Chains A and B, each alone.
Chain A
């Protein structure tokens, strides 16, 4: 038997195991496997894992599909106001609990308006983006009503920007409380189900500001202040992508 050589890396083994290697690389791994008992043991365990995963989880693929799922495809358009989704509702409730703490904190510490703006926008995003049934209060299908209502509550002309060029369609909007009066939240969604929000709130401090970033893990916010209003675009995406969206929104909000 040959001398032990460089042990097979996890990536080589994973590629081999899932049959994703070109024939030549596959043959090389096979040759090295012969002298690598540790790697052989790992492959055997991985095969056992796959068998267990199949035995545990394969069932639903062979079970009858409930009517509530096939029904979604038979309706002309998704209907709102069905039985609430337990999980989403619970999570949203949880997020609201967190938001209360955050917003309360923001009201007590009005020193840095810009940070408040970013925090409020991130909180609002996290609260409503998980919502399935009521992510928004007024849907985009009632566009005229949406604009009239939000403009009236905010005390200024409110028109959500059109982000279709970036693939995001307006879902609708809602009014939220904020430290300096009612704030507005617009939600958009792309074809892959990714959601972004645009948060707009009145600012006591009327000074304009440049674009700034804030974020919690994968969720990023890009915010700015302009003409007594604060704006924040929030989403789970790289900053340059978010910046493009913010610029698209900014140009239309001028």
Chain B
């Protein structure tokens, strides 16, 4: 299997991730195309260690960072009705509402949290793979995931204010 065949085999996963990141099929495919052109141009210079998949995702992530850097904040807000990504399978009416709510909440996450969450949940990347592709330490990845998930719970009204979280001890507990 040639390197180009191996890259081609990753296109479906790259598309899934890019469509979810951009929340738009066309813009997602633009991002994938950009990533593929870079991969074709540079695959000979790639470090031979490490997985091809992680390398392709790191290219796509770097291009997404470049694109988002200049995007105005309001560009990240998408009206729920405008969500271009349709659910993959037709859910029931109630499920549908919950899905749209979750989709809108994901759209409001900061980019770095969204990239991390989708990489792990949607692409099934291990923590080590995701940390490599995102070029961040594992601890940063874990706290990013935790923040993303709690933010989603907050935005979709899943937090239970009447069941207050047990006290988080502030930094520097005296008894240890």
Contacts and interface: CB of A to CB of B under 8 A. Distances in A.
A20 B126 contact: yes
Given A7-B166, A18-B127, A55-B91, A61 B121 contact: no
Interface string A72-110: 111101100000011110010011001000000000000
Given A7-B166, A86-B30, A88-B30, A65 B11 contact: yes
A130 B142 CA distance: 29
A191 B102 contact: no
A38 B45 CA distance: 49
A13 B33 contact: no
Given A20-B127, A56-B87, A14 B15 contact: no
B27 A87 contact: yes
Interface in A25-55: 37-38, 41-42, 45-46, 48-50, 52-55
Contacts of B71: 91, 94
A52 B46 contact: no
B34 A132 contact: yes
Given A14-B142, A46-B149, A56-B85, A130 B70 contact: yes
B7 A73 contact: yes
Given A45-B158, A68-B33, A130-B67, A10 B146 contact: yes
Contacts of B143: 10-11
Contact of B122 (A15, A20, A54): A54
B22 A87 contact: yes
A62 B12 contact: yes
Interface residues of A, number: 67
B37 interface: yes
Contact of B12 (A50, A61, A86, A218): A61
A195 B67 contact: no
A39 B89 CA distance: 30
Contacts of A70: 8, 11
A72 B15 CA distance: 14
A211 B91 CA distance: 59
A167 B40 contact: no
B36 A77 contact: no
A192 B72 contact: no
A60 interface: yes
Interface string B9-53: 001110110011010011111111111111011100111000000
B47 A38 contact: no
6 contacts: A13-B146, A53-B118, A60-B28, A61-B12, A72-B37, A130-B69
Ranked nearest first, the 6 interchain pairs of A and B with the lowest CB-CB distance are A10-B146, A59-B88, A57-B20, A52-B102, A61-B16, A193-B59
Interface of A: 4, 6-7, 10-11, 13-15, 18, 20, 37-38, 41-42, 45-46, 48-50, 52-63, 65-66, 68-70, 72-75, 77-78, 85-88, 91, 94-95, 98, 126, 129-130, 132, 167, 169, 189-195, 217-219, 236
